[in-house]
């Protein structure tokens, strides 16, 4: 088997840690060996104890206090410190040779969309540690109720995809909240059809609704943004309901496909075709 990693990114509050926990729970239920890598130096509570935790190297709280930095500046300092201390990362990753690492990232989207920090880290994981990586980007489903926020989310997802340059899966999280309070028929009928256009966005179709809620002086900018999204035509979302094991399993299967999970495993050949004994190597 090879080395595999899932990068769980997205804005603060999009459900990244909850998604990580759901992935781990599902993976354990099907006999997978998975480990949580906390890459957020400000994180405090975990449903599953991280096997690797950046806070053992450096914490945001200490940096802010000692360096007199704000949260964003402190976070960038933490990641630069990590990149300058790869011996720590080498020691932590060295014991996981045939495992699946789930990396819970901070919620500051600038790390994926503006700065090259996460890009450098993913390349190090690929080139130095031979990890096959799939990045996931979570966008909260409530953004569908605010078209301007939705377009901003689509644009940030596209920016992360371009910046990280690894197999990528965009996820519409918290779908259980969207359907909360509706009857089963309502959830499966009109509301579900309405949501489909957000999973595979047609920005040119939605721009009229955006313009109706924004100042006319921004209409040309809105048009330029949606045209950019439409020209690239690379952003689509998969719905995620963490309370539904089938939903989590579907997401995991797409991640597996993106990183070709298990395809480099050597098949076991029988030692003796008559007895049916198998080689354990």
User: What are the tens digits of pLDDT across the range 154-170?
Assistant: 888 988 888 888 999 99
Cα dihedral 245→39→59→174 (10° resolution): -40
- The torsion angles phi and psi of 106, rounded to 5 degrees, stand at -65, 165
The answer to whether residue 72 sits within a structural domain is: yes
Asked if residues 92 and 52 have their Cβ atoms less than 8 Å apart, the reply is yes
Looking at the predicted structure, is the pLDDT value of residue 277 above 80? no
d(CA 154, CA 140): 11
pLDDT tens sequence across 179-231: 555 555 555 555 566 677 788 877 777 787 778 878 888 888 878 877 777 77
Task: Provide the edge-to-edge strand list for the sheet that holds 34-38.
Answer: 52-53, 34-38, 100-104, 3-9, 131-140, 168-173, 237-239
pLDDT at 142: 84
List the structure tokens of 50.
Answer: 């991280």
If you ran DSSP here, which 8-state letter would residue 214 be given?
Answer: S
The percent of residues in the chain predicted with pLDDT above 90, rounded, is 48
Composition of the chain by helix, strand, coil, percent to 5: 50, 15, 35
Domain count along the chain: 1
Domain encompassing residue 18 = 3-201+236-278
The dihedral through the CA atoms of 263, 100, 160, 240 has a sign that is positive
The answer to whether residue 64 sits within a structural domain is: yes
Q: How confident is the model at residue 6 (pLDDT cuts 50, 70, 90)?
A: very high
Looking at the predicted structure, is the pLDDT value of residue 1 above 70? no
The answer to whether residue 34 sits within a structural domain is: yes
Q: Which H helix or E strand runs over 38?
A: strand 34-38
Measured between its terminal Cα atoms, the distance across the chain in Å is 12
pLDDT at 102: 96
Please tell me the pTM assigned to this model: 0.83
Low-confidence winner among 63-77, 131-145, 183-197, 246-260 (lowest mean pLDDT):
183-197
List the structure tokens of 138.
Answer: 């979570």
The answer to whether residue 225 sits within a structural domain is: no
The answer to whether residue 136 sits within a structural domain is: yes
The answer to whether residue 215 sits within a structural domain is: no
The answer to whether residue 209 sits within a structural domain is: no
d(CA 35, CA 28): 10
Asked if residues 17 and 46 have their Cβ atoms less than 8 Å apart, the reply is yes
Closest Cα to residue 248, out of 5, 23, 4? 23
CATH number at residue 93: 3.40.50.300
Looking at the predicted structure, is the pLDDT value of residue 272 above 50? no
Cα atoms in the Cβ-side hemisphere of radius 13 Å centred on 163: 22
d(CA 35, CA 164): 22
CA distances from 218 to 9, 117, 147, 157, 208 (A): 29, 32, 14, 21, 12
pLDDT tens sequence across 78-119: 999 999 999 999 999 987 877 889 999 998 888 887 788 899
Q: How confident is the model at residue 16 (pLDDT cuts 50, 70, 90)?
A: very high
pLDDT at 235: 84
List the structure tokens of 276.
Answer: 């049916």
Looking at the predicted structure, is the pLDDT value of residue 275 above 70? no
């Amino acid at each position: 088997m090879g080395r595999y990693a899932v990068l769980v990114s997205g804005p603060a509050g999009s459900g990244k840690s909850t998604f990580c926990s759901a992935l781990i729970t599902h993976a354990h239920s099907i006999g997978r060996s998975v480990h949580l890598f906390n890459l957020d130096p400000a994180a405090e509570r975990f449903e599953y104890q991280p096997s690797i935790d950046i806070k053992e190297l450096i914490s945001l709280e200490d940096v802010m206090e000692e360096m007199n930095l704000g949260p964003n500046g402190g976070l960038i300092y933490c990641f630069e410190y990590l990149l300058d201390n790869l011996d720590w990362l080498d020691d932590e990753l060295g014991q996981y040779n045939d495992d699946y690492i789930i990396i819970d990232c901070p919620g500051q989207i600038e790390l994926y969309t503006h700065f090259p920090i996460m890009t450098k880290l993913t390349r190090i994981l690929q080139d130095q540690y031979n990890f096959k990586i799939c990045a996931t980007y979570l966008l909260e489903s409530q953004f569908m109720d605010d078209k301007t926020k939705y377009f901003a989310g689509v644009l940030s997802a596209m920016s992360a995809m371009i910046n990280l340059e690894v197999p990528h899966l965009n996820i519409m999280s918290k779908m259980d909240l969207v359907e909360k309070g509706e009857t089963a028929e309502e959830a499966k009928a009109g509301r579900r059809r309405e949501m489909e256009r957000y999973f595979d966005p047609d920005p040119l179709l939605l721009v009229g609704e955006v313009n109706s809620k924004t100042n006319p002086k921004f209409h040309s900018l809105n048009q330029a943004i949606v045209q950019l999204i439409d020209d690239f035509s690379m952003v689509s979302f998969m719905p995620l309901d963490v309370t539904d094991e089938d939903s989590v399993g579907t997401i995991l299967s797409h991640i597996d496909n993106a990183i070709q999970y298990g395809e480099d495993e050597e098949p076991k050949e029988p030692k003796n075709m008559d007895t049916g004994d198998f080689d354990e190597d």
